[in-house]
Structure 1
Amino acid sequence: MMGRQDIDQIALRLASLVPPGMADAHKDLRANFRDILAQGLRHLELVTREEFDIQTQVLARTRARVEELERRVAALEAGVPPGGA
């Protein structure tokens, strides 16, 4: 996830694009860029990598369980006892 330091670096890059004649506005622009970036990121529905990895594991377990249940249902529909062939 993007942290405060990442936002500061992007704001600094954007402020560095300001023409040299506007050096006085450089500091203000950097602060404004940083605030706008931070505000924009807060509105996004982002999750941490850890949360994403946990949900990926939950999904994998759920998928395995569904596949097992599908096999059991197919066996019951075919008249074969579960676990037997």
Structure 2
Amino acid sequence: MMDRLDIDQLARRLASLVPPGVAQAQQDLRTNFHDVLAQGLRRLDLVTREEFDVQSQVLARTRAKVEELERRVAELEAAAATRGD
């Protein structure tokens, strides 16, 4: 998820796009942009990078375990087929 620094930088960039004639309103716009961006991001169902990385590791371990179990089942099926013949 975007942290406060990222939101601040994006709000500053948006405020810098304001025409020079309304430059005095830039700080107010920057604050408003920041608030709107932060509020919008809070409404999204996002996870932190740390949570994502942890779940990726869990998934990798689960995949490895499934592959190992599939290999083991194939061996057992082959052994059963050999005994059955």
TM-score of the aligned structures, taking structure 1 as reference length: 0.80
Other-structure match for 2:71: 71
Larger relative contact order (Cα-Cα within 8 Å, sequence gap ≥ 6): 2
Other-structure match for 2:46: 46
After the TM superposition, which parts of structure 1 deviate over 6 Å for at least 4 consecutive aligned residues? none
Cα RMSD of the aligned pairs, angstroms, is 1.5
1:31 aligns with 2:56: no
Other-structure match for 2:83: none
> After the TM superposition, which of the residue ranges 17-26 and 61-70 deviates more from structure 2?
17-26
Q: Secondary structure at the match of 2:46?
A: coil
Deviations 1:25-69 (A, max 9, x none): 222211111111111211222222221221111111111111111
Aligned pair count reads: 80
TM-score of the aligned structures, taking structure 2 as reference length: 0.80
Q: Structure 2: which amino acid aligns with 1:63?
A: R
Identity %: 76
Is the helix fraction higher in 1 or 2? Answer: 2
Identify unmatched segments of 5+ residues in structure 1: 81-85
Identify unmatched segments of 5+ residues in structure 2: 81-85
Other-structure match for 1:56: 56
